[in-house]
């Protein structure tokens, strides 16, 4: 295995080479190259900065050790000893930071997200909570300057959401929202409950990286059955007098996507194809994870959607993420999109899991 210092030297060389490429006159006239090189430079910059701080810390540490063990007076040796302790702690912290920065990146992290929210157990109450979760993620997207776009919305007559499909555009959207997949459970007294009993309802959230058109090949003639019909609203009422709703069945997998939100059949078909491609891409990712014996247990980006991942308890004003055992209070703020504490904790736990897996792998190699 390549040593840490050798890997860091390699990253520093890559960083310098990219800077040199960016300074070339021909690069400045090529917007595609500018974007690609700029993104790569931004990805490597935190590693290079931490590596340079490590080099400075090690230089200072060598000087402090030399002073501590030299012919200086007792007071100077004592001050040098304290400096050594501080610099050793700094070196260890920087090494931990660099190990995390060098973890393999999820190649899907920079992608847009296709998010599906479906009411589960609990009838109308589950659908009402589905509406609250949808709003929570839309507010989260706004906080991070992502651009949400509704692809499909199937509502109940009392403001609930049976199913919603949204696309969230923005660099790094998947890197943050991939941890939201799974079953979300709500515990509260429903507005329709006269006896004051607490009910438990569930909503399933599916998070997928948006697939590009060229990544998933679909033979529309052989692989698809496309049905069109009139759109309908809550309770089956007609909301469109043209056959604009599109239902696409992918025959090889059995996946079905239905979109009816647009008045244009063409736009509905385009949205449905985007969702279908992302579902097929997500299926392939799941197969790859299952085939990989080193699949991390914590990662839920494409994880088991039957698993309960989070509970929202209204009476106790708390939200508990069961994967990491973390509880936060101020439930209204969470439902208003303030999810960063939970997502940051999930990111850190995921990184720790990766580091532990790498440690186990290194041990096996040794």
Structure confidence by residue, pLDDT tens digits, 257-298: 999 888 888 999 999 999 999 999 998 888 877 665 444 444
Residue whose tokens read 């936060």: 328
Residue 192's CATH number: 3.30.70.1660
What is the rounded CA–CA span in Å between residue 18 and residue 32?
14
Q: What is the pLDDT of residue 75?
A: 87
233, two tokens: 């609203």
* pLDDT value of residue 18: 94
Place of tokens 């809550």: 234
Which of 65, 81, 101 marks a domain boundary?
101
Residue 281 near residue 273 (C-beta atoms within 8 A): no
**Same structural domain for residues 238 and 155?**
yes
What is residue 293's predicted lDDT score, i.e. its pLDDT?
46
107 domain-assigned = no
93 in the same domain as 220:
no
Please check whether residues 132 and 261 belong to one and the same domain.
yes
> Could you give the CA distance from residue 97 to residue 355 in angstroms, rounded to a whole number?
11
How many separate domains does the chain show? 2
pLDDT of residue 237: 47
pLDDT at 300: 39
pLDDT at 242: 58
Domain boundary among 101, 136, 166: 101
Q: What is the pLDDT of residue 2?
A: 55
- pLDDT for res 284: 87
Reduce the DSSP state of residue 225 to 3 states and report it: strand
Burial 325-361 (b: 16+ CB within 10 A, else e): ebebeebeebbebbbeebbebbbebbeeebeeebeee
How close are the terminal C-alpha atoms of the chain, in Å? 9
Q: Give pLDDT, residue 233.
A: 56
Burial per residue of 28-40, b for 16 or more beta-carbon CB atoms within 10 angstroms, e otherwise: eeeeeeeeebeee
The last residue of a domain, from among 54, 76, 101:
101
- Which spans in 216-339 are helix H? 220-223, 265-291, 331-335
Q: Residue-wise pLDDT tens for the chain (366 aa)?
A: 457 888 899 999 999 999 999 999 988 888 888 988 988 898 899 999 999 999 999 999 999 999 888 776 888 888 999 999 999 999 999 998 898 888 888 888 889 999 999 999 888 899 999 999 999 999 999 999 999 999 999 998 888 999 999 999 998 899 999 999 999 999 999 876 777 788 999 999 999 999 887 678 888 889 999 998 876 655 444 444 556 889 999 999 999 999 988 888 899 999 999 999 999 999 888 887 766 544 444 443 333 445 789 999 999 999 999 999 999 999 999 999 999 999 999 998 888 888 877 665 554 444
Q: Is there a single domain that holds both residue 178 and residue 208? A: yes
Q: Where are the beta strands (DSSP E) in the chain?
A: 113-119, 147-155, 161-169, 182-188, 199-209, 224-229, 245-250, 255-259, 308-313, 318-321, 326-329
Q: pTM for the full model?
A: 0.76
Is residue 324 assigned to a domain?
A: yes
Residue 22 falls inside a structural domain: yes
pLDDT at 84: 94
340's CB contacts (< 8 A; 6+ apart) are none
In this structure, the answer to whether residues 160 and 239 fall within a common structural domain is yes
pLDDT of residue 360: 54
Same structural domain for residues 58 and 136? no
Task: Write down the pLDDT at residue 232.
Answer: 64
Parent domain of 139: 113-352
Question: Residue 236's pLDDT is what?
Answer: 45
Buried b (16+ CB within 10 A) or exposed e, 115-149: bbbbbbebebbbbbbbbbbbebbbbbbeebebebe
- The reply to whether 362 falls in a domain is no
| Crossing angle between the packed helical segments 74-101 and 340-365, to the nearest 10 degrees | 100
Q: What's the chain's Rg over C-alpha atoms?
A: 26
Whether 223 and 84 share a structural domain: no
3-state secondary structure at position 63: helix
């Amino acid at each position: 295995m390549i040593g840490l210092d050798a890997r860091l030297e390699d990253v520093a060389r890559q960083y310098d080479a990219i800077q040199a490429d960016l300074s070339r006159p021909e690069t400045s006239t090529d917007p595609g190259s500018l974007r690609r090189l700029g993104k790569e430079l931004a990805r490597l910059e935190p590693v290079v900065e931490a590596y340079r701080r490590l080099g400075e810390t090690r230089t200072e540490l060598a000087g402090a050790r030399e002073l501590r063990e030299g012919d200086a007076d007792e007071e100077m040796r004592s001050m040098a000893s304290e400096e050594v302790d501080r610099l050793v702690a700094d070196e260890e912290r920087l090494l931990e930071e660099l190990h995390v920065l060098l973890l393999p990146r999820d190649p899907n992290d920079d992608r847009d997200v296709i998010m599906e929210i479906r009411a589960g157990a609990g009838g109308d109450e589950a659908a009402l909570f589905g509406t609250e979760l949808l709003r929570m993620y839309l507010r989260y997207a706004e906080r991070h300057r992502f651009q949400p776009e509704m692809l499909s919305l199937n509502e109940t007559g009392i403001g609930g959401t049976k199913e919603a499909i949204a696309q969230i555009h923005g660099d790094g959207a998947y890197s943050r929202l991939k941890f939201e997949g799974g079953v979300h459970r709500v515990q509260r007294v429903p507005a329709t409950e006269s006896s004051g009993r607490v009910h438990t309802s569930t909503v399933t959230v599916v998070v997928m990286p948006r697939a590009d058109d060229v990544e998933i090949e679909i033979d529309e003639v052989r692989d698809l059955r496309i049905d069109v019909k009139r759109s309908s609203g809550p309770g089956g009422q007609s909301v469109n007098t043209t056959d604009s709703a599109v239902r696409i069945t992918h025959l090889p997998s059995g996946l079905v996507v239905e979109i009816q939100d647009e008045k244009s059949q063409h736009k509905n078909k385009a949205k449905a194809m985007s969702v279908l491609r992302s579902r097929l891409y997500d299926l392939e990712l799941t197969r790859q994870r299952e085939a990989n014996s080193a699949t991390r247990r914590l990662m839920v980006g494409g994880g088991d959607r039957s698993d309960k991942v989070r509970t929202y308890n209204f009476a106790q004003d708390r939200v508990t993420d069961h994967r990491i055992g973390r509880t936060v209070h101020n439930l209204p703020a969470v439902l208003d999109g303030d999810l960063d504490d939970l997502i940051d904790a999930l990111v850190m736990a995921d990184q720790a899991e990766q580091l532990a897996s790498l440690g186990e792998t290194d041990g096996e190699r040794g």
